[in-house]
Amino acid sequence: MKRLIIILTLLFSVQVYAQMSGQIGQFDLVPQRIYANPAFQPKAKWNIAFPGLGNVYAQHGNNWIQPRSFVEGGNSVLSPESILSAIGDEATTTQMQGIELLHFGFRFGKNYIHLRANERVQARVNIPADIFRLAVYGNVGSYQFENNTANFSNLAIDAIHFREYAAGFNREITDKITVGVTAKYLYGMEVIQTENSSLKLQTDQDTYALTSSGQLDINTSGINSLVSSEEDFDANEYLLGRNNSGFAFDLGATYEPIENLQLQISAHDIGFIRWKDDVSNYKTNDASFAFEGVDMTDFLFQEDISFGEEFQNEADSLLNELEETFGFEETNGSFKTNLNGFMRYGAAYTIFENQGFRGTGWCNVTHGLGESMVDFQASLGYNQTLWNSIQAGLHVTKTGDLPYTLGGGLSLNAGLFQVYAMVENISVAPLAEITIVDSDDPSNTSTVFLPASPSDLRVHFGINFTINRDYGSNQGSGRAMIQR
């Protein structure tokens, strides 16, 4: 039962690493635009999300799955070495899911207030390429490690599962300025935090002497009970009774310096969770250890001792020292994890607007705050609105070191019913057709299809009930795209 719940929450949670699709803020018919800036006001007076389906979010990211680069020379040999050569310094895989459990909001006067609850999961596995290189080539093989050192620094697994209860309020202060805030109570359920990861292994190319250094510190909460088969699962305790609490907030503002232009700024997920339940802290000691072989200097020429016994004793002593160096020491102290806070800066310009049609160009930039894992991202896009019933958008995004991606979204509204979907990386859809030719019988081929570039995939979809979508237009200048 508990595993089922975990799996479900993993599959259907939202807002991973707090960085949703960069375009959602521009869909002013969608109540979830408020995730992009707490100062944003959706256009409808009343906004109610379909429970559990208001905003379903899934994200997958990796920096290493690229079928084209897996094949050496462009098209001939597929081998572990060729796959490895396509990986940079680190193979990073992120998996983020979430679900908006509840969302309710309404506008009154120049104000907008909303309440929401989200289940959020963020997971990242970071594997230094040197681990794969060590496995494929060995420590003294054909691959030359930099400084003869296999660098496992940043080997990390970070995962967090928590629930967020949020209450937001924003208000149009003047005709040009709107400010908003969202306060969040956080309920932590599981976490794995790699606090420190700096292991390295150096091999002397002459003597093969091995020297390790660095350390690995990992904190967990809720994992022991998750994997333990001895404890009876208590669903109430799991879903509501854990003593892992935290707080966070979002702040935002918009400003219109000239007609049709809106500038946006916001800070998100500024907060933390303190983990107290089912806590384990695993720490290595300083893993500095030099293994140069069994040192026989002291007993090599002694005739009154058993060489075999002395060798064994020395080897045992080395093993004990090795265990002491690398043995994980477990403690149970509470610890804190910060959310992955980030800043968002945006601008939107209404290119044209007439009765029923509106075209808006926009751009935004996000970046992490402090030790946040949120990557730098910049987007440039265009949104088209038709009759307050259809909104469609298209944009280009550059995220970190990843290539440029194309994204798009569509919101359809019929009466109070609204359905929307947004994709951040449309190019993931094109497939690579991989034809494998039997070297003994070239006429014998088999074909598989893989995404050509699945490096960053973000999908939102949701169902909402929006009432009085003209409310925003009637309240302001009628420039809906930047209407507060």
Give dist(CA 388, CA 74) in Å, integer.
48
Side-chain-facing half-sphere of 229: CA atoms under 13 Å: 0
Residue from 75, 228, 243, 474 that binds another protein (CB under 8 A)? 75
Is residue 79 a contact residue for another protein (CB under 8 A)? yes
> Collapsing DSSP states into helix, strand and coil, what is residue 311?
helix
Residue from 432, 473, 475, 476 that binds another protein (CB under 8 A)? 432
Is residue 86 a contact residue for another protein (CB under 8 A)? no
* Least distance in angstroms from the C-beta of 355 to another protein: 12
Widest distance between CA atoms in the chain: 104
Q: Are 38 and 184 in contact (CB under 8 A)?
A: no
Is residue 435 a contact residue for another protein (CB under 8 A)? yes
**Among 37, 471, 33, 72, residue whose Cα is nearest residue 266:** 37
Is residue 203 a contact residue for another protein (CB under 8 A)? yes
Residue from 229, 236, 258, 301 that binds another protein (CB under 8 A)? 301
Letters for 26-55 (x = contact with another protein by CB under 8 A, - = none) are: ------------------------------
373-402 residues near another protein, rule: CB under 8 A: 382, 384, 392, 394
Element containing residue 237 per DSSP (H, E): helix 235-240
Is residue 297 a contact residue for another protein (CB under 8 A)? yes
Is residue 300 a contact residue for another protein (CB under 8 A)? yes
Give dist(CA 413, CA 390) in Å, integer.
6
Give dist(CA 70, CA 68) in Å, integer.
5
Residue from 68, 88, 330, 336 that binds another protein (CB under 8 A)? 68
Q: Segment near another protein (CB under 8 A), from 67-75, 224-232, 250-258, 342-350?
A: 67-75
**Among 451, 268, 450, 460, residue whose Cα is nearest residue 377:** 268
Is residue 142 a contact residue for another protein (CB under 8 A)? yes
**Strand-strand pairing, 245-258 and 335-338:** unpaired
Give dist(CA 28, CA 484) in Å, integer.
9
272-291 residues near another protein, rule: CB under 8 A: 291
**Among 159, 58, 168, 160, residue whose Cα is nearest residue 117:** 168
Is residue 311 a contact residue for another protein (CB under 8 A)? yes
Is residue 206 a contact residue for another protein (CB under 8 A)? yes
Task: State the CB neighbour count (10 A cutoff) for residue 120.
Answer: 26
* Least distance in angstroms from the C-beta of 439 to another protein: 6
Q: Interface with another protein by CB under 8 A: which residues?
A: 67-68, 71, 75-81, 134-142, 203-204, 206-210, 291-297, 300-301, 303, 311, 357, 359, 382, 384, 392, 394, 406, 408, 426, 429-437, 439, 449, 452
